[in-house]
Amino acid sequence: MTRSRSKDIIAILTRALEVKASDILIAGGERVVYKVNGRWRREAMWEPLTDSEAAGLILGMLAATGSGAEIDAKFPKDLDFSFSLPGGERFRVNVYRIQGRMAAVLRPIPSAPPQLEELGLPLPPVERALKGKQGLILVTGATGSGKSTTLAAMIEWLNTREEIHIVTIEDPIEFFFQPKRAVISQREVGTDTESFASALRSALRQAPNVIMVGEMRDLETIQAAITAAETGHLVMATLHTRSAPEAVTRIIDVFPEGYRELVRLQLSSALSLVISQTLLPNREETGRVLAYEILVNTPAISNLIRENKIGQIGNAMFTGQKEGMITMAQCVEELIRKGLISPKTAEAVRGAPKEV
C-alpha cells in the first residue's frame, strides 16, 4: 500500500473502522495511531501529520458539526463533541493540546445501543436493580473499559420494558435511543445544558423516573445524584475507579470531613448496585473480554458503609455470591476456567494496582 500524507478525515476514520480500532489518535508530528485489541499501533500507510495538518483535520470536524463551538487559538482548551461520517458512522471526539499543539482522540460509537444480554454481565443482580425503580447504580472502571456501553445497555433494557420517562445527561451524546415503551429525553452538556450538575438539578423538575448521568465528575454532581436516588428516582452514573469498594470510598471522600458521616448514611440507603469492569485481551488476542466485579447493597453491605468499614466490603463480596456479588478475582478465575483469557493476562490483572 502506497504511503501518502492524507488530509482526509473520512479516509482516516474509514480505515479505523476497517481495522476495528477502538480509538484513533491524531496529533502533529505523529502518524495516525489506531488502538486495536487494546494495543496502540501507528498506521504505516500514511506519513506523519504536520501540526497544521492535524489542526486542520480537527477544526474541519468541528466545523462539520455545525454546533458553533470554537477552540481558542491562543489558550489550551479541552473540548468534547461527536462527529459523523457521510454513511452515518459516529465518533466521540476529545480535543486537547500537547505543548500548545492541537490533538484529538476519537472513539467509534456503535449505531445502535447494545443489548444487556450481549455484554457478558450476570443478568440477575443487574435486572433486580433495574426493576427496583429507585436507587443509585454505578458503573466504574478506567477510560476505555466500556462503562458507557454498559449504561446504554441498561437504558435500552428499560426502554423495551417500562412505560417511564428517562432523562440522560451526556458529554457528548453517544448512543441515540429510539423510544419504544419509554419516553427518552437525551441532553448534551454544552449544547442543551451548562453542566452535569445543573442538568441533574433541572431533571428533578422534569418528571423523570430514571436519570442517567454520563459521568459524576465533582461534588455538586455527586450530591445531586445521591439526592435524586434518595427521592424515588433510579439514577445511573459512571465513576473512574478500578474496584467497587473504591467507588464507595471515592464518593465519600469527595465531601469535606464534617459531612462524611451524613454522606455514609445517605449512601448506605441510596446505593443499589456497583459494577466495576475492565476489558481484557481474549486468549487468542483477537478481541477483548469483559471482566467485572459486582457489589449489591445488601443489609450487610449497607451496615459496613454506614459504620465506615469500607475495608471489609471486599470480603463481603467474596462470600456474597448468593446475593449476586462477585469479586474481580473470582470473575477472572471463571474466565480462565472457560478458556476465554490466558493465565498471563490473569496474572497481569491480579498484580495491577487498585488505586486510580
How far apart CA 37 and CA 338 sit, in angstroms, is 20
Tens of pLDDT, residues 53-82: 999 999 999 888 765 555 555 444 688 888
Class of domain 116-350: alpha beta
For 2, left (φ over 0), alpha (ψ -120 to 50), or beta? beta
The pLDDT assigned to 7 comes to 55
Dihedral (C-alpha) 208, 242, 340, 330: value to the nearest 10 degrees? -100
The answer regarding whether domain 9-109 maps to CATH 3.40.50.2300 reads no
- Ranges of residues in the chain with a pLDDT under 50 are 1-6, 74-76, 353, 355-356
**Residue environment code for 64-85, b if the CB has 16+ CB neighbours within 10 A, otherwise e:** eeeeeeebeeeeeeebbbbbee
Strand partners, 185: 167
The pLDDT assigned to 71 comes to 56
How far apart CA 230 and CA 272 sit, in angstroms, is 11
State the sign of the Cα–Cα–Cα–Cα dihedral 37, 41, 46, 48: positive
Residue type, 310: I
CA 233 to chain centre: 21
How far apart CA 17 and CA 49 sit, in angstroms, is 20
> Helix, strand, coil: what percent of the chain each, to 5?
35, 25, 35
Give me the sheet containing 288-296, strands edge to edge: 183-188, 165-170, 210-213, 234-239, 135-140, 271-281, 288-296
The pLDDT assigned to 75 comes to 44
**Residue ranges covered by each domain of the chain:** 9-109, 116-350
C-alpha cell at 95: 480535543
Q: Hey, is 49 helix, strand or coil?
A: coil
The pLDDT assigned to 79 comes to 87
Helices (H), 208-259: 219-230, 244-254
The pLDDT assigned to 347 comes to 85
pTM for this predicted structure: 0.86
Q: Rounded to whole angstroms, what are the CA distances from 344 to 29, 41, 141?
A: 35, 22, 21
How far apart CA 206 and CA 221 sit, in angstroms, is 17
